[in-house]
Amino acid sequence: MISDKSQIPTKLATSNEKKADEWSRILESVSGNSTVERFQDEFHLVFTKWTKDSEPTQGEPYRVIIAKALEAFDKNEEPVLVEEAFLEIERLGGYPGVHYAWQQSLGTTNADYCRLLNGEGNKRATASIASAFINRDRSEALVNIVGCSGAIANEPRGENGFGFDDIFIPGVMQQTLSELPEEEKDSISMRRTIIIDLLNGRASHYPIGKPKPKWSPISGMRRTED
């Protein structure tokens, strides 16, 4: 738990305008929820342009997101929320995993993953979103990771989304995330779970520099442990 709610940053560092828009829409949509309303006035996100310059840290999702949060903290000289999306494709041995965004920056497209699967066989995949921020005295990272099981489409489909949205089919649905209407997409968004957790002061605490147990992909969508 986050004992002091004032620790929660009001800034999300991202260079992705569509990601910023989704965070804004979801934050607004949960404002009428009585369980989070009391924190709403303290949690109005300000979006700051920020581009990660270095290759992602090797390791588990929590290591990658903590490294990103540390870099953002140092650049902004204050606690800043960061987010990263991961896509583990079962038949590709979990590739691209934590390197999804990095592979995109190198020119790998979502259509490339569809071609690698060749339209046949096992299409199972796990998508996950991680968020983190470093506390003010830089002693620990507060992390949320939410995952969703699903499948990869035969080809990119839909226009309403970004990242892997046009190839990822969540759960037992038939549509990719990009094919869903905006309101429906937001209602099942992993970002929604993260935002509600943050508004309720829920996060996992990781002391900086100390090893933690390996994070494993999860089936369906759930919160991280408190």
The CATH number of the domain where 188 resides is what? 3.90.950.10
In a domain, 223, yes or no: no
Number of folded domains in the chain? 1
User: How high is the pLDDT of residue 222?
Assistant: 39
pTM of the model: 0.83
**Lowest mean pLDDT segment, chosen from 5-9, 12-16, 111-115:** 5-9
Query: Which residue from 213, 165, 210, 201 is spatially nearest to 5, judged by alpha carbons?
Result: 201
Q: Which domain holds residue 153?
A: 5-206
Contact 46, 78 (CB under 8 A): no
In a domain, 216, yes or no: no
In a domain, 211, yes or no: no
In a domain, 214, yes or no: no
SS (H, E, C) 43-72: CCCEEECCCCCCCCCCCCHHHHHHHHHHHH
In a domain, 54, yes or no: yes
pLDDT tens figures, 82-133: 999 999 999 999 999 999 988 998 999 999 999 999 877 899 999 999 999 9
In a domain, 192, yes or no: yes
In a domain, 222, yes or no: no
Confidence of residue 218 (pLDDT cuts 50, 70, 90): very low
Residue 35 confidence (pLDDT) above 80: no
